A and B are shown apart, each in its own frame.
Chain A
Amino acid sequence: MIHGTLGPEDLVIRSPGPSRRDFVKAAGAGLIVGTFLPGFARIGRAANAVPLDDAGQPIFEPNAFVRIAPDDTVTVVIKHIEFGQGPYTGLSTLVAEELDADWSQMRAEAAPADVEKYANTLFGIQGTGGSTAMANSYEQMRRAGAVARAMLVAAAAQEWTVPTGEIEVEAGVVRHAGSGREARFGELAQIAATLPVPEEVSLKDPADFRLIGTAVPKLDTTEKTTGEAIFTIDQYRDGMLTVLVARPPRFGATVGSVDDSVTRRVPGVVDVQTIPQGVAVYARDTWSAFKGRDALRVNWDDSGAERRSSGELLESYRAAVSSPGAEAASRGDVAAALAGAATTLEAVYEFPFLAHAPMETLDAVAVRGENGVDVWMGSQLQTIDQAVIAEVLGTEPSQVRIHTQLAGGSFGRRAQGGGDFARETAEALARVEPDTPIKLIWTREDDIRGGRYRPMTVHRLRGGLDAGGGIVGWEQTIATQSIFAGTPFASMVQDGIDPSSVEGAADMPYSISNFGLSLHTMEAGVPILWWRSVGHTHTAYAVETFIDELLEAGGKDPVEGRLALLSGAPREAGVLRAVAQLADWGRTPPDGRARGVAVHKSFESYVAEVAEVSRGEGGLPKVHHVWCAVDCGVPVNPNIITAQMESGIGFGLGAVLYDEITLEDGGTVRERNFDRYRSIRINEMPEVEVQVIESSEAPTGVGEPGVPPIGPAVANAWRRLTGEAVRRLPFTARGGAEGGDA
């Protein structure tokens, strides 16, 4: 995709080129500053005007994140999209903590697209990803709550003519012990709204936390058990047209010629338009749009298309890793160490393209009128989507109002550096009359065949052992497409190394004195994207299965052997020890079962997992039980952390066992739907036990880090059980020759 006018200068407003890892490091080191706290009352509203609710009652809005209504509800404006990882609850917990609110009075709602107020402080733009929601909000949202609390206290002090220092706040009640007076937040809201916003507030000592660290019930659970939760697809408008787009079957192809005569006769179809992405069919209802699109006859121009098959691409990737690429990390002299090793092992790993396949496919509802453009969508990078839509429609980003919706999953799919889907929506919207709303929907087939995959990747590893079984050298070569190149995040690619291609390998934690890692950045016409845990999806598998083989060749226990190499990595060692204890690692598993372990850091969170497997049907492992230990700093909500580990394990396991996007001869995608692009199902889900490590480190993310260790933990268990080292994923794709030992 070409996005000529959309460069990093336009979009990455406050990040002049730090690497992604720098972003995450900043979070881990506690360098987040809570200065992004714009006074809501000062922006877009006269300084002394107090906002009113529907009943004309004044609402107290001390800043852009907190709103206290006369009915005593506290609404937290959430700058991160909620698609299951829990920011509605987690960020509200931070506000409630410092506000000393009662959990029952807390509400959450999505923030509008407004980079001035709602930037991800680690990105510089408004957006969600890299498991940063909690990391970048921890101090900011606590500060937002503390400011509100200070103003409520000041209001009470003024009303009761008592010193602020004598006022206490607990569970949503403001009290003055001396006079016996008390008030609820809602009663003080009107006065508080007239007071100045304090410049300085102090935050609680963690020892005084009442809500942080507890499993408060999730704010979005009830509406998600009654069918009342509204997602983008549930938005309807009078006169709305449903739009389906026919896209080329090969990546990079374009519309040649269109015969829409049959389509136009389908009842309910009102228009057909060619847009840069394909052919858009506009209909009065969804089913008519389906039928209308099915009736299109399009000749595609394949002159610019990628026509290579997965097999051909794999062949070129395998050829690439037979020689070193651009150096990404190096220490010692790996060539000499391998040459002098008593034993060497070599392995080539092959990882397929993967689709994200969130339950809710990409969709948007949009309308443009005299006052600008309104878009309802599960936007994950609001600032980019806003800019792209404005560019297509020839307006200013500030005239594009994005109403971020609850989304039915993402796993990375909705975070598009080039804003492809927002662009397609805008192109479709540009071709209807003003004030005509459209709903653009991708079908599941569009989703599975639509690209933006986890890139196909090949790793070649060589390792050497000395006579005593110690690991003396480790050489790794990776071939993959760059995810960041050609996007507004391209500045993160430095010296030819896209950090997302090598993360989790270049910085692997084991002390091996001779180490080399190099990268071949491959060119292919297949659009790719970050997929839940990004580079760690393949690096963790390669590193953690290869270290397991080296340890075994050296006569070492998988847990003890790893611990001996983790002297410089205390938090990896910590979760590894914890999971070994949780799983009772020393215990012999039941007959016919074996266990494997893996540990991996991603997005500054540390996760170790042990999997217990037996031989299941179809030559696949049956995974019975997974034990997991996670260290993500201060555990803000242990229940959500545990849920995210369960989720990451299931998501990762399904992919490792079953999932592959295959380009057939000529470059078309074989898989179309959940029949051939399998998802893990309930009968395949292991039991999961999670231990959340207590920590006082700054909190880090949990949406992705549960994914990387599950593949290698299962593969290591399978190798112990069967002797077969699986190096071609998914497990279902391996042939006899490919599954053999090196």
Chain B
Amino acid sequence: MAIEVTVNGEQHQVQADGDTPLLWVLRDELRLTGTKYACGIAQCGACTVHVNGQPRRSCVLPVRLVEGARVTTIEGLSGPQAEAVQDAWREIDVPQCGYCQSGQIMSAVALLAQAGEVDDAAIDAGMVGNICRCATYVRIRQAIKNAAAELEV
């Protein structure tokens, strides 16, 4: 069936079964490959995208449920939070293998876009769903704090 999705501000008509996870539509149909597959059961966060600004695991999100919604992937990320996060990531060389980092960044940007203080507890709560097997967590935490400080200046 034809499904209409809006991704990174662009409307697309895709031919897909409505139950197809958004992840595979993004990757196989739209060739937006920054969003990654790693578990398929919403356990690791590598597939995190924003749906109407909220972080969602695209590997378990049927594409029919995002009709009419605004989907943002790492490729379409913009705005002050995104810039601060990506700059902070680069500044202290957060990535190692890099595979999970799109998802980490999507979660971090969503965290910073929320109101409220970005302390250790908030970082734990906002980032606990994102696994990094390289365990870059020390730097993820630091980069989020640096980005938060940058945004306050």
CB–CB B133/A679 < 8 A: yes
Whole-angstrom distance between the Cβ of A317 and the nearest chain B Cβ:
28
Complex interface bits, A657-673 against B, C-beta within 8 A gives 1, otherwise 0: 00000000000000001
In the bound complex, how far is the Cα of B37 from the Cα of A64, in angstroms?
35
In the bound complex, how far is the Cα of B30 from the Cα of A424, in angstroms?
28
In the bound complex, how far is the Cα of B24 from the Cα of A267, in angstroms?
15
Whole-angstrom distance between the Cβ of A160 and the nearest chain B Cβ:
39
Whole-angstrom distance between the Cβ of A590 and the nearest chain B Cβ:
17
Question: Which A-chain residue is minimally distant from B129 (CB atoms)?
Answer: A681
List the A side residues contacting B100 at CB < 8 Å: 359, 408
Most buried by B among A85, A411, A651, A679: A679
**Interface of B, helix, strand, loop or mixed by DSSP:** loop
From the candidates B41, B90, B98, name the one contacting A675 in the complex (CB within 8 A): B41
List the B side residues contacting A359 at CB < 8 Å: 36, 38, 44, 46, 97, 99-100, 131-134
In the bound complex, how far is the Cα of B124 from the Cα of A164, in angstroms?
59
List the A side residues contacting B127 at CB < 8 Å: 682
Of A175-183, A220-228, A302-310, which stretch is located at the interface?
Answer: A220-228
Task: Evaluate whether A227 and B75 lie within 8 angstroms (CB atoms) in the complex, with A221-B93, A673-B43, A674-B39 already known.
Answer: yes
CB–CB B138/A225 < 8 A: no
CB–CB A85/B133 < 8 A: no
Question: Which B-chain residue is minimally distant from A674 (CB atoms)?
Answer: B43
List the A side residues contacting B102 at CB < 8 Å: 227
Question: Which B-chain residue is minimally distant from A653 (CB atoms)?
Answer: B135
In the bound complex, how far is the Cα of B97 from the Cα of A411, in angstroms?
11
Complex interface bits, B33-50 against A, C-beta within 8 A gives 1, otherwise 0: 111111111011010000
List the A side residues contacting B36 at CB < 8 Å: 231, 233, 359-360, 408
Within 8 Å of chain A (Cβ to Cβ): is B101?
Answer: yes
The interface size bin for chain B is: 35 or more
From the candidates A84, A222, A682, A687, name the one contacting B96 in the complex (CB within 8 A): A84
In the bound complex, how far is the Cα of B75 from the Cα of A230, in angstroms?
13
CB–CB A85/B94 < 8 A: no
In the bound complex, how far is the Cα of B130 from the Cα of A682, in angstroms?
8
Whole-angstrom distance between the Cβ of A719 and the nearest chain B Cβ:
24
Whole-angstrom distance between the Cβ of B76 and the nearest chain A Cβ:
9
Whole-angstrom distance between the Cβ of A237 and the nearest chain B Cβ:
12
CB–CB A687/B138 < 8 A: yes
CB–CB B98/A287 < 8 A: no
Q: When A and B form their complex, which 7 residue pairs have the shortest distance between CB atoms, in order from nearest? A: A227-B34, A650-B135, A408-B99, A84-B96, A224-B98, A227-B74, A84-B97
Q: Which A residues lie at the B interface, using CB under 8 A?
A: 83-86, 217-218, 220-231, 233-234, 236, 242, 267, 285-287, 357-361, 406-411, 441, 443-445, 639-640, 643, 646-647, 649-651, 653-654, 673-675, 679-683, 685, 687-688
Can you name 17 extra interface pairs (CB under 8 A) apart from A84-B98, A682-B123, A682-B137?
Answer: A84-B97, A224-B98, A225-B86, A226-B34, A227-B35, A227-B74, A233-B33, A286-B24, A286-B37, A287-B16, A358-B99, A406-B97, A409-B133, A444-B39, A681-B128, A682-B127, A682-B141
Can you list 7 residue pairs at the A/B interface with Cβ under 8 Å? A84-B96, A85-B96, A224-B95, A224-B101, A358-B99, A675-B43, A682-B132
